[in-house]
Amino acid sequence: MKKLFTKIVSVALIASMMGALASCATKKSLTVNKGKLVMATNAYFPPYEYYEGTKIVGIDAEIAEAVAKKLGLELEIQDVEFDSIIAGVQSNKYDIGMAGMTVTEERKQAVNFSSTYATGIQAIIVAEDSPITDIDTMIGGDYKVGVQTGTTGDIYITDEVGDERVVRFSKGNDAVLALSTGKVDAVVIDNEPAKSFVAANEGLKILETPYAVEDYAMCINKNNTELLNEINKALAELTEDGTIAAIIEKYIPSNG
Ligand code: GLN
């Protein structure tokens, strides 16, 4: 009798240990570092991500913070080259990439995208006295166009004008600086950062013809559908209760 009891107990013990192991395994696979949500971004993209002193703030940083909180995780933001974010997510260096990143069919081959949380527009910045008046004059003339490496602006413009006329920079504001100093004739970049850069640099303007409308989303490793689902659930709740709209409104006031 005693033996049978011991047997039952040990079977129960093994079963519960296996259960614990299994849940441990699922927990572990949710993020790269247990308890943390590691986000890769490029923090020179106001108002989505930029430095305030040594802290990275902005729409993406705050939405990620709210998502991490819902998931019971601590957010850690790593500032890296935009061009290295997708590869880092693929190799499980980071849990998510969030960088005003546009959802594209090509990127979807490499990573999963969350539901979109914002819209972006590709804009063209030129000098105030520039002969470039719209996208067609920019493409048609022999102008040099500055872009941020690997962005949709880079991809579209390279497609239109060819490599020789595209000058690539690792940060968006370096492209704008090159425009200010006459090294390039135009910069193609997302509209909201474009507004910040134009406000911060004299003698520049944004052309009124927006170039392409895009959706922003977080990218996540293709194998981690569990994290994708959790994030989408959190995003849905944060949309529903108005948190995301409030964060966007804080950085892009609709009446200002
Ligand atoms: N939205 C653009 C893209 O995804 C630019 C993003 C960025 O420069 N951070 O390519």
Contact between residue 96 and residue 231 where contact means Cβ atoms under 8 Å apart:
yes
Contact between residue 172 and residue 148 where contact means Cβ atoms under 8 Å apart:
yes
The CATH architecture that domain 36-117+217-251 belongs to is: 3-Layer(aba) Sandwich (3.40)
Q: Is the CB of 42 under 6 A from ligand 1?
A: yes
H/E stretch holding 56:
strand 55-57
Q: Give the residue, out of 111, 151, 213, 215, with the most ligand 1 atoms within 8 A of its beta carbon, to mutate for a pocket test.
A: 151
Q: Is the CB of 151 under 6 A from ligand 1?
A: yes
As given in the structure block, the two tokens for residue 47 are: 């108002």
Q: Is the CB of 62 under 6 A from ligand 1?
A: no
Predicted pLDDT of residue 28: 54
Q: For residues 123 and 165, what is the distance between their CA atoms, to the nearest angstrom? A: 18
What tens-digit pLDDT sequence spans the chain (256 residues)?
555 555 555 555 555 555 555 554 444 559 999 999 999 999 999 999 999 999 999 999 999 999 999 999 999 999 999 999 999 999 999 999 999 999 999 999 999 999 999 999 999 999 999 999 999 999 999 999 999 999 999 999 999 999 999 999 999 999 999 999 999 999 999 999 999 999 999 999 999 887 789 999 999 999 999 999 999 999 999 999 999 999 999 999 985 4
Q: Is the CB of 48 under 6 A from ligand 1?
A: no
The CATH architecture that domain 120-213 belongs to is: 3-Layer(aba) Sandwich (3.40)
Domain boundaries, the chain: 36-117+217-251, 120-213
Residue whose CA lies nearest to ligand 1 atom number 8: 151
What sign for the dihedral angle of Cα 36, 26, 221, 71?
A: negative
Whether the link from the prior residue into 47 is cis, omega within 30° of 0, is yes
Alpha helices in 31-171 (DSSP H): 59-71, 85-90, 105-110, 135-140, 152-161
| Ligand 1 atom closest to Cα of residue 82 | 9
Q: Is the CB of 99 under 6 A from ligand 1?
A: yes
What pTM was computed for the model? 0.86
Q: How far is CA 103 from CA 155, 215, 235, in A?
A: 13, 6, 16
Predicted pLDDT of residue 14: 56
As given in the structure block, the two tokens for residue 121 are: 């527009």
Does the fold of domain 120-213 match that of domain 36-117+217-251? Answer: yes
